[in-house]
Amino acid sequence: MAEKVRLQKILADAGVASRRKAESMIAAGYVKVNDKPTQVGDKADPKHDKITVHGKLLNTHTESVYALLNKPRGFITTMSDERDRKCVAQLVKDIPARVYPVGRLDRESEGLLLMTNDGEFANAMTHPSHHVPKTYRVTIHPGITEEQLTQLAVGIMVDGRRTAPAQVRILHQEKGRVVLEIILHEGRNRQIRKMCEELGLEVARLKRTAIGPLRLGMLQPGEWRYLTQQEVKQLSAAAKADRLSFKQNQKFQGIHR
């Protein structure tokens, strides 16, 4: 008997969307199996069932693709936009597979953004129970105090919840600006900008330089490259780090000069 799989997993594996986004699409009635409406939690046989999304037949036999994009400022992290704003889809048009962003960088932020059609991988990298560290280079105007540095490191209240401890160090400082390296172990929306806003700090530039062991390197803004098999394995291993490992790392976090 053929093995049936939850629809959201099938859609994610086919590169349509992440699991969470796929669930929303199913709930909205965009997904049918053998021409019949579906509900969240329904299962199907990806090898034999006819699965359509927005009326189009789903190709369930695609090869997994993993890419690293250096997102420039001014681009939104989506594959389409009703307001016709610049989006990252324009930067990866020459990737033959249908990929989508893993997580987000806001419009004015830049740097490392993962792109894939592997829903399992995307879910592992973005799920709240995982703590893959993300490294940012943040330029602050006009400066920062020792107290503000400490608050960034130990955590502050943002949107009613305290942020997790972070690693913070000064990379460069001169009159009128300071450049920080901030390593986060959680992935809230616009987290660094909100933390800085709470402390009265002006963010002039925000660039993601690493996700776990993967670094942006010399890739220029707007350029992308495929990940190696080793890099995919390293990221997957980092995503599987359990809560115990995360808690053990807390004692190493704080301010470093």
> Given CA atoms 7, 13, 19, 21 in this order, what sign does their dihedral have?
negative
Catalytic residue among 42, 45, 49, 106: 106
3-state secondary structure of 46: coil
Alpha-carbon gap, residue 179 to 69, rounded angstroms:
23
Phi and psi, residue 22, nearest 5°: -60, -40
Residue 242 CB neighbours (<10 A): 10
| One-letter identity of residue 205 | R
Give alpha helix (H) positions in the chain: 7-13, 19-27, 119-126, 146-154, 191-198, 229-239, 243-249
Cα 66 from Cα 111, distance rounded (Å): 16
Asked if 153 and 218 touch (Cβ cutoff 8 Å), the reply is: no
Query: Per-residue b/e over 111-138, b at no fewer than 16 CB within 10 Å?
Result: bbbbbbbbbebbbbbbeeebbbbbbbbb
Tell me if 85 sits within 8 A of 96, measured CB to CB. no
Q: Is 49 a catalytic residue?
A: no
Per-residue DSSP letter, 87: B
Q: Which residues pair with 138 in a beta bridge?
A: 180, 206
Q: Prior bond to 165 cis, omega within 30?
A: no
Q: Which residues are catalytic?
A: 106
